[in-house]
Amino acid sequence: DQQVKQNSPSLSVQEGRISILNCDYTNSMFDYFLWYKKYPAEGPTFLISISSIKDKNEDGRFTVFLNKSAKHLSLHIVPSQPGDSAVYFCAAGSGGSNYKLTFGKGTLLTVNP
Amino acid sequence: DGGITQSPKYLFRKEGQNVTLSCEQNLNHDAMYWYRQDPGQGLRLIYYSQIVNDFQKGDIAEGYSVSREKKESFPLTVTSAQKNPTAFYLCASASLRTGGTPLHFGNGTRLTVT
């Protein structure tokens, strides 16, 4: 039973354009959400997070949007750069749940020069 | 420079042998975690610990064991009972003072069992 779903295994965009990565969740208890970026043979690195009391959080080129009613969040990267090419994982957790995170399967983003 | 160190980066073992993966952190984090990543899969939680001498099973704990004798260290043993041990193993830590997020990850150990 997958509680965090990233339905697009891959995404390809042109340099300078916007990248939009999507994530859906099923557990209504989730109240904070994170995006991680991962290069091959390395550990994931934290990108940006959002709590359920907000619907948007922005950090430089990265913006995360949360739609609680739809149980959907998205990560926007603008403008996209070739160095953004990596696997992006969506993760979710609930404050009362022993600080565990549940991860999606990831989306491979390729930014073409 | 604070961080999480996993060693070795690559590990090869024969089927039937137990193997222990090392994870050390100098971030003074309370909580530590072990995740497993398989191709095309997300990260799945094996075990986690929020305090020394205490740990809890994650979603896929069968065939694994851990210990937390020191705050800085959280070794994972992959036993011969684990049916599909070949995978990329990631250790993570977090400060409970920040609500346990974000997780900080090490660079992983790729275990191959033949």
| Chain A with chain B: Cβ pairs closer than 8 A | 66
The nearest alpha carbon in chain B to A6 belongs to B42
Minimum distance, in Å, between the CA of residue A6 and any CA atom of chain B: 9
The tokens for A32 are 């904070």
Give B105's contacts in chain A (Cβ within 8 Å): 36, 43-45
Q: What is the mean pLDDT of each run of 10 residues along chain B (114 residues)?
A: 87 93 95 92 92 94 97 96 93 82 91 94
Tens-digit pLDDT profile for residues A12-37: 999 999 999 999 999 999 989 999 99
Report the pLDDT value the prediction gives residue A97, as an integer from 0 to 100.
Answer: 52
Of B4, B9, B101, the CB nearest to A32: B101
Yes or no, beta carbons of A34 and B104 under 8 Å apart: no
pLDDT at A41: 83
Q: According to the model, what pLDDT value does residue B26 have?
A: 95
For residue A98, what pLDDT is reported?
A: 54
| Partners of residue A3 in chain B, C-beta under 8 Å | none
Regions of chain A short of the pLDDT cut 50? none
pLDDT in the model for residue B76: 97
Strand A32-38, strand A86-93: pairing? antiparallel
The 3-state DSSP class for residue B61 equals: coil
Q: Å from A30 to nearest chain B CA?
A: 13
Contact A37, A87 (CB under 8 A): yes
What are the E-state strand segments in A44-100? 45-51, 56-59, 62-67, 72-77, 86-93
CA distance B31 to B54: 10
**pLDDT at position A2, please?**
83
Q: How far is CA A37 from CA A53, B12, B70, in A?
A: 24, 27, 29
Chain A residues touching residue B50 (CB < 8 angstroms) = 98-99
Chain B residues near residue A89 by CB distance under 8 angstroms = 42-43
